[in-house]
Amino acid sequence: MAPCRYHVIFILAICEMLFFGGLFYGWPSLVYVLKEESYYFDLCVHNDTSRITESVVCDKQDANLNLVYTIGSTTAFLFLLPVGIVFDWFGTRLTRILSHFILVTGLLLMLMSSPATPYLLFPGMMCLVVGGTSLYITLIQIGNLFAKHRSTAAALISGSYDASAVVMLFIKLAYDAGVPLQTSFTILISCTVIVFIPTFYLLPNGKIPWPLPPNYKSSIHCDHREDDDTKESDLSVLSHEDANQKITEEDNRYAENPYDVEFPTIKSCLRSPSFILLMFWFCMQELRLSSYTGLFNPLTVEMTGGNRQLVDHYTKVFGFIQFGVILFSPLGGMILDRNKGKPNRQPYDDLKDSALGFATTSILFVLFAIFITIPIHRIQYATFILCGVSKAFLFGILFGILPVVFPFRYYGTLTGVIGLLGATVDLLQYPLYIMTQKYLNNNFLVMNIIMLIACAATIALPVYVTYHARRLNKKANTL
């Protein structure tokens, strides 16, 4: 059983992600408030219609606000590469200090923005996204502390990252109750103190190694026995490689990861068919998810015929369902962990077990994409649920499997490369939206069908992984 300090770290990680992780996923709630506050309303054609009605149907306002989200979400993935490299080279503490600074900067910019200075939304959203995602990268390694339940713990942290969309919903509800938007962001800034606790007192200066050395668990107990205190102090300031070397000298049972031999360099990882297909699998599904989140308001307006009360209702429902993602998030990790600890495990069984997780995620995204194409607004309740569950599986599976099938020393860099490709693909959502506005009169059916086909094509990854894992196990058994 994991020491209780592990559970304290895990609970704080959940709280940190719920407050600051994926705040940009709450964009549908925030954009509703921004439109109520008349951000970019000066671009609209004014007539005798009331401000509220105009703000719901103004295409230019929607386009500019969608651009804020597109640039923000794209920046998150672009910055994953430098953040991942910093994490791999300098460890957890420095990465978290930089992430906290960026996060606070983003909150300050959002606080200072106004209808007179809407351009502050762009750097504000960019910093919010980069700061929250960078913290997430430093916390996903906590799953390494839980051995057989490693992927499940990582998936729960990932689910908390997704569920933080509810923060923006609470900001919207507070705004409806008369609380100014600036007040809400001021409160969020004061809550960032929670980031300091794990940064300086609970998490190591370097990285939590994987596979976890046998003696590592004895170094982090809640009951600070004197013979363990020195060891804990030493390990907390060691880098990943130094910690592994120190513990290996004490205990020769430290397990070797077979993927360290298969992927000796970062180039060998990037050139492998598994990684290339993994990038395609992630990018296509992330584009479907990101475009739906960014275009939620105009999609809902178009589907409800511009009914403001229905738009408000569905915005609230969507926000609450996104918070419920945390309930589904362990499922992806449980799929990856389902056979861990069983006897007679072969070297590449972890890779083979991941195929079911990849296939389940692809199927969920296909269903999600199908439901989006149905132009009946009452059916969107099911679409909201599928959106949340699909998102939980996507990130839970991705970040759960990366350190298992590739050497952990490349984890940050590989995450950054995937993010870089994801950012490039994410940029497509804005021109797709403009084309839909200009040539299809806000009819999103063509765009939705294209993305449905792209999501269906991701089934290639689990098919290849199943074949590849069997081939590797067969090869290992013949040696």
User: 287-311 pLDDT, tens per residue?
Assistant: 898 888 877 877 787 777 778 888 8
Residue 23 lies inside a defined structural domain of this protein: yes
Per-residue pLDDT tens digits for 391-401 = 888 887 887 78
On whether residue 225 sits in a domain, the answer given is no
- The yes-or-no verdict on residue 248 having pLDDT over 60 is no
pLDDT over 90 (residue 363): yes
pLDDT for residue 55: 40
pLDDT at 46: 55
Range of the domain at 303: 4-211+256-478
Q: Are 368 and 361 contacting, i.e. CB atoms less than 8 angstroms apart?
A: no
Give mean pLDDT, residues 152-163. 84
Q: Which whole-number Å values give the CA distances from 166 to 139, 204, 315, 360, 436, in the listed order? A: 20, 30, 11, 25, 29
Q: What is the pLDDT of residue 105?
A: 93
Q: Are 138 and 203 in contact (CB under 8 A)?
A: yes
Range with the lowest mean pLDDT among 179-188, 245-254, 409-418, 459-468? 245-254
SS3 string, the chain, reads CCCHHHHHHHHHHHHHHHHHCCHHHHHHHHHHHHHHCCCCHHHCCCCCCCHHHHHHHCHHHHHHHHHHHHHHHHHHHHCHHHHHHHHHHHCHHHHHHHHHHHHHHHHHHHHHCCCCCHHHHHHHHHHHHHHHHHHHHHHHHHHHHHHHHHHHHHHHHHHHHHHCHHHHHHHHHHHHCCCCHHHHHHHHHHHHHHHHHHHHHHCCCCCCCCCCCHHHHHHCCCCCCHHHHHHHHHHHHCCHHHHHHHHHHHCCCCCCCHHHHHCCCHHHHHHCHHHHHHHHHHHHHHHHHHHHHHCHHHHHHHHHCCCHHHHHHHHHHHHHHHHCHHHHHHHHHHHHHCCCCCCCCCCCHHHHHHHHHHHHHHHHHHHHHHHHCCCCHHHHHHHHHHHHHHHHHHHHHHHHHHHHHCCHHHHHHHHHHHHHHHHHHHCCHHHHHHHHHHHCCCCCHHHHHHHHHHHHHCCHHHHHHHHHHHHHHHHHHHC
Query: What is the predicted pLDDT for the residue at 69?
Result: 82
Rounded CA separation 7/71 (Å): 36
Residue 227 lies in a domain: no
Looking at residue 453, its pLDDT comes to 93
pLDDT beyond 80 at 410: yes
Q: What is the pLDDT of residue 45?
A: 63
Average pLDDT over residues 340-368: 86
Task: Work out whether the CA dihedral 108, 112, 118, 119 comes out positive or negative.
Answer: negative
pLDDT at position 35: 87
Does residue 229 lie in a domain region?
no
What pLDDT digit, counting tens, does each position of 114-144 carry?
Answer: 898 988 999 998 898 888 888 888 888 888 8
Residue 138 lies in a domain: yes
Assigned domain for 344 exists = yes
CA distance 189 to 227: 40
Q: 182-207, pLDDT tens digit by residue? A: 999 999 999 888 888 888 888 888 88
Q: Is residue 23 a contact partner of residue 171, using CB atoms and an 8 Å limit?
A: no
State the average pLDDT for the chain: 79
Q: How far apart are CA 39 and CA 113, in angstroms?
A: 9
Q: What CATH number corresponds to the domain at position 50?
A: 1.20.1250.20
216 vs 166 pLDDT, higher one: 166
> Considering the domain boundaries, does residue 459 fall inside one?
yes
Interval 136-153 mean pLDDT: 83
In a domain, 460, yes or no: yes
Q: What's the pLDDT score for residue 361?
A: 93
The structural domain count of the chain equals: 1
Q: What is the pTM of this model?
A: 0.72
Residue 66's alpha-carbon distances to 31, 34, 187, in angstroms, are 9, 12, 26
Residues 6+ apart with CB under 8 A from 94: 86
How far, in Å, CA of 398 to CA of 155, rounded?
9
- Kindly tell me if the per-residue pLDDT of 472 is higher than 70: yes
Confidence at 251, pLDDT banded by 50, 70, 90:
very low
- CB distance 426 to 73 below 8 Å: yes
Cβ 206 vs Cβ 92: under 8 Å: yes
Confidence (pLDDT) at 218: 41
Does the pLDDT value for residue 389 go beyond 70? Answer: yes
Token pair 């960078």 is found at: 134
Q: What is the pLDDT of residues 4-41, one digit of tens each?
A: 778 888 888 898 998 888 888 888 888 888 988 888 88
| pLDDT at residue 219 tops 50 | no
- Residue 223 pLDDT more than 60? no
Binned at pLDDT 50, 70 and 90, residue 338 comes out as confident
